[in-house]
Structure 1
Amino acid sequence: MSISSSMNAGIAGLRAHSSRLGTISDNIANSATLGYRRSETTFHSMVVGSGIAGQGAYSAGGVRSTSMKQVDQGGSLMGTQNSTDLAITGRGFLPVTTELGARLNDGTAPMLLSPTGSFRLDNSGVMRDSAGNTLLGWPLDADGVMPVTPRDKASGLRPIRVDMNQQASVATSVVNLGINLPAAATLPDASGDPHAILIDYFNPVGLPGKLEVLFTPVTDPAGATNTWSLTLTEVDTGAALGTYTIQFNDMPGLGGTLQSVTRTSAEGGDYDPETGSFDIEIAGQQIDIFAGYYGQNEGMVQRGTNFSPTGVEQNGFGSSTIIGLTVDAAGNLDAIYDQGFRRTLYRIPIVDVPNPNGLTAKSNQAFQVSRDSGPFYLWDAGTGPVGEIASYALQESATDVGAELTTLIQTQRAYSSNAKVIQTVDEMLQETTNIKR
């Protein structure tokens, strides 16, 4: 009967708009929740009978509703003052795990997906947010190299843990001889006095040492030689590390640049023109000495009358303590040490799935991979379809309060109208009942 179907349609309308009211209230309640993805309710008509046009009778089928998280629609980014506040500038999610999962350090921790997070170290050095979500990443070895790891599985990910009290050092591996030698010292009437410099270096356990580099000009009464003898010695032990003859150009356009580097001792390695360096060895520690390239204004040059070693530097550091952490756009988590160097400890991947709206929503703005979302893949930040990682940033809620309030008004009117339909049907049934009286 059409009157009864009208009643049922009205009840279905009340139920559908009640569901829509629930999503609106949830969205407004989470308007300040970082990383929140708004929910949306859509309506679908229900047809009773065949639905063929021109039927003699019509029965109202009503309406049904479905609600879904709009996971692919994120909020805008806002700046912060914490280097480990992380957001993503495009598609993708951060890999996190639960507080209980953080206790597992064997690759079995359950992986969740988070659009953003304000991560800080807890009392155990584990990086987590206030809700307990723990950030996951690939641990790198001591040289900052990431081991081969699967991208379609979370078995290579580990809860990020940083020991702020741990000491670290960097052994010297390269010394750059950025020196200007005086061309006047190789003239026939020059005194032939040598020039010496001391260079600090650090061994593999962070202990300091000193290298003496002695530059002795080669003179000849017949004319300028543009030639020097370079001798390296370990100061503490007096060990000879190598002696080399350095010849400089005096041709127009190339004047003052390296022409040849020749080893003249049993110690030390031969000069490699491809790398512009030769190596020395101190108690098993190999150090590359960068002298410069032939015909180039890098490393050692010879010009003018002044000896200037202002470009001498080495890449080692003594024992240092972590004073801060930073995350770059590629997802590399670096520890910054008080000696001025940094070391990459972890790489944070970006998780992507074919259908983000198919993810299962969990508490604390986290999501879980489901059959509808499709399998996940771990990308390096800024590669493939995913965005880069933004440090010092958080993602705001995707809720637009103004739009939600407008929808709330529409929902309220629709709910009242459906209630009016039920009231009208009740009055019509009452009139039908009165006919018998």
Structure 2
Amino acid sequence: MSISSSLSAGVAGLNANATRLAAISDNIANSSTYGYKRAQTEFTSMVVSSARGASSYSAGGVCASAVRLIDERGDLIGTGNALDLAISGRGMLPVISEAALGNPLSNSPLLMTRTGSFRTDANGVLKTDTGLVLLGWPANADGSIPPKPRDTIAGLVPVVINTNQAAGDPTTMMSLGVNLPATYTNAGSTSVPPPLSVEYFGNLGTSETLEVTFIPVVPVSGSSNQWRMEIRDSASGGALIGEYSLTFDDSRGAGGTLASVSVISGGAYNPADGTLALTVAGGPMTVGIGRLGDPNGLTQLSDSFAPVSIAKNGSPVGNLTTIEIDENGYVNATYNTGFTKRLYQIPLVDVPNPNGLLSLSNQAYQVSPESGSFFLWDAGAGPTGTIHGYSREGSKTDVAAELTSLIQTQRAYSSNAKVIQTVDEMLQETTNIKR
């Protein structure tokens, strides 16, 4: 009967608008929630009979379905915490629940979030106040990230930062820019330049020294333009680790630059990059003395001995001062000596259908059959965006638009209630006819 279908349609309208009202109230309540994704209600009509030219019409009503628009991206809001993270572009941060700590990650579902304010707890675990623990790939001792599987969380670990840690950076590279007096290789010269002491840092952060001695080769007549260079390592008890014969060019075009380097003992000389492959007590070290014909390494000019430029990497032991995460997801620790060390890499999680993710509390999401399988990307690679520190993603709620929808929903609800009231009155009329 058409009048009863009208009643059903009115009730369906009340239910649909009640669903929309619930979504609107959720959106307004979370207008200040970082990373909140707006819920949207879609109405679809329900048709009972579609016969053309039927003598009576039966109302099917309406059906409401709410969907969370997870693929919508909020504005980035600057903060003062280096570990406030947000994503510019596609992708999500991998996290797990704090309750899952201590259990194998393979037994815990991967969660993900678009933004979070991460801080270390008493154990150094990087997590939010709501208990979401950040996951990443640990770096090797040299800061490189080993290959990890991308379709499973097996290689991920909770990011743990020991704020009381100290670290040193051993010296592995050094370059010497020294001018040797040309007059010292003239016949009859008795002058010898002073030894050159260059500090470097050992594997334990200790201060060590390379003692470099330049000995001129004095000919019977004329000028030899030749020197013998001896390098000794204080960490090896002053042992000789390299001895070389240096010959300098005296031509007009390349005068004063290295013409040849001969190895007497120690590591080889590489003419391609102008380096010596030395071995100090702590391991190999590359020392640059300049390519043949290069005026930026060892030179023989004028009559003065001058160490014009000495550069090296490494640093003594320092204490941790700051932790920052760059746009590629690398977790970098900076120490008070200026040394920076890479600790982890934070990948970004991506799924084919973000709106199909299962929504959880605290702006966390979980993979579902509708979202498709996840893949772990390097931040900034593939379809994913970049990670931004000192930032949070704002809520996607537009309060003005939600208030407009609220008024529309209220009127629609009242209109459906009026339909039910009218049907009730008409049924009452029908009952009165029988009397």
TM-score for both structures, normalised by structure 1: 0.92
State the Cα deviation string for residues 128-158 of structure 1 (Å, max 9, x = none): 0111100000011211122222110001000
CA RMSD of aligned residues (A): 2.2
Match of 1:165, SS? coil
Which deviates more, 131-140 or 316-325? 316-325
How far apart are 1:369 and its partner, in Å? Answer: 0.5
Would the alpha carbon gap of residues 370 and 252 (structure 1) be closer, same or farther in structure 2, given more than 3 Å must change?
Answer: farther
How far apart are 1:220 and its partner, in Å? Answer: 5.2
How far apart are 1:204 and its partner, in Å? Answer: 2.0
The reply to whether residue 399 of structure 1 matches residue 390 of structure 2 is: no
State the Cα deviation string for residues 252-277 of structure 1 (Å, max 9, x = none): 5544443322212x3x1110123421
Which deviates more, 98-107 or 205-214? 98-107
Which deviates more, 357-366 or 215-224? 215-224
Superposition pairs of residues 117-196 of structure 1, within 5 angstroms: 117-183=116-182, 192-196=191-195
Distance in 1 (alpha carbons) for counterparts of 2:39 and 2:59: 28
Distance in 2 (alpha carbons) for counterparts of 1:11 and 1:194: 101
Superposition pairs of residues 30-429 of structure 1, within 5 angstroms: 30-49=30-49, 51-104=50-103, 108-183=107-182, 192-218=191-217, 225-235=224-234, 237-251=237-251, 254-264=254-264, 266=265, 268-283=266-281, 285-303=283-301, 307-429=305-427
Distance in 2 (alpha carbons) for counterparts of 1:392 and 1:179: 45
How far apart are 1:377 and its partner, in Å? Answer: 0.5
Which deviates more, 183-192 or 102-111? 183-192
Would the alpha carbon gap of residues 70 and 224 (structure 1) be closer, same or farther in structure 2, given more than 3 Å must change?
Answer: farther
Amino acid in structure 2 at the alignment position of 1:258: L
Would the alpha carbon gap of residues 253 and 3 (structure 1) be closer, same or farther in structure 2, given more than 3 Å must change?
Answer: farther
Match of 1:103, SS? coil
Tell whether the 8 Å contact from 1:107 to 1:158 is kept in structure 2 after alignment.
no
Would the alpha carbon gap of residues 260 and 58 (structure 1) be closer, same or farther in structure 2, given more than 3 Å must change?
Answer: same
Tell whether the 8 Å contact from 1:105 to 1:158 is kept in structure 2 after alignment.
no
User: Structure 2: any 5+ residue segments left out of the alignment?
Assistant: none
Match of 2:7, SS? helix
Would the alpha carbon gap of residues 242 and 401 (structure 1) be closer, same or farther in structure 2, given more than 3 Å must change?
Answer: same
Distance in 2 (alpha carbons) for counterparts of 1:413 and 1:115: 35
Number of aligned residue pairs: give it.
434
Match of 2:32, SS? coil
Match of 2:270, SS? coil
Would the alpha carbon gap of residues 376 and 184 (structure 1) be closer, same or farther in structure 2, given more than 3 Å must change?
Answer: farther
How far apart are 1:248 and its partner, in Å? Answer: 3.5
Would the alpha carbon gap of residues 226 and 38 (structure 1) be closer, same or farther in structure 2, given more than 3 Å must change?
Answer: farther
How far apart are 1:105 and its partner, in Å? Answer: 5.9
Distance in 2 (alpha carbons) for counterparts of 1:26 and 1:41: 12
Aligned residue in 2 for 1:15 = 15
TM-score for both structures, normalised by structure 2: 0.93
Which deviates more, 90-99 or 198-207? 198-207
User: Structure 1: any 5+ residue segments left out of the alignment?
Assistant: none
Which deviates more, 225-234 or 163-172? 225-234
Match of 2:94, SS? strand
Would the alpha carbon gap of residues 169 and 7 (structure 1) be closer, same or farther in structure 2, given more than 3 Å must change?
Answer: same
Would the alpha carbon gap of residues 304 and 22 (structure 1) be closer, same or farther in structure 2, given more than 3 Å must change?
Answer: farther
How far apart are 1:420 and its partner, in Å? Answer: 1.5
Would the alpha carbon gap of residues 307 and 62 (structure 1) be closer, same or farther in structure 2, given more than 3 Å must change?
Answer: farther
Distance in 1 (alpha carbons) for counterparts of 2:313 and 2:225: 30
Tell whether the 8 Å contact from 2:109 to 2:366 is kept in structure 1 after alignment.
no
Distance in 1 (alpha carbons) for counterparts of 2:189 and 2:422: 116
Which deviates more, 207-216 or 323-332? 207-216
Distance in 2 (alpha carbons) for counterparts of 1:173 and 1:426: 89
How far apart are 1:180 and its partner, in Å? Answer: 4.1
How far apart are 1:223 and its partner, in Å? Answer: 5.3
Would the alpha carbon gap of residues 159 and 284 (structure 1) be closer, same or farther in structure 2, given more than 3 Å must change?
Answer: closer
Match of 1:100, SS? helix
Q: Percent identity?
A: 49
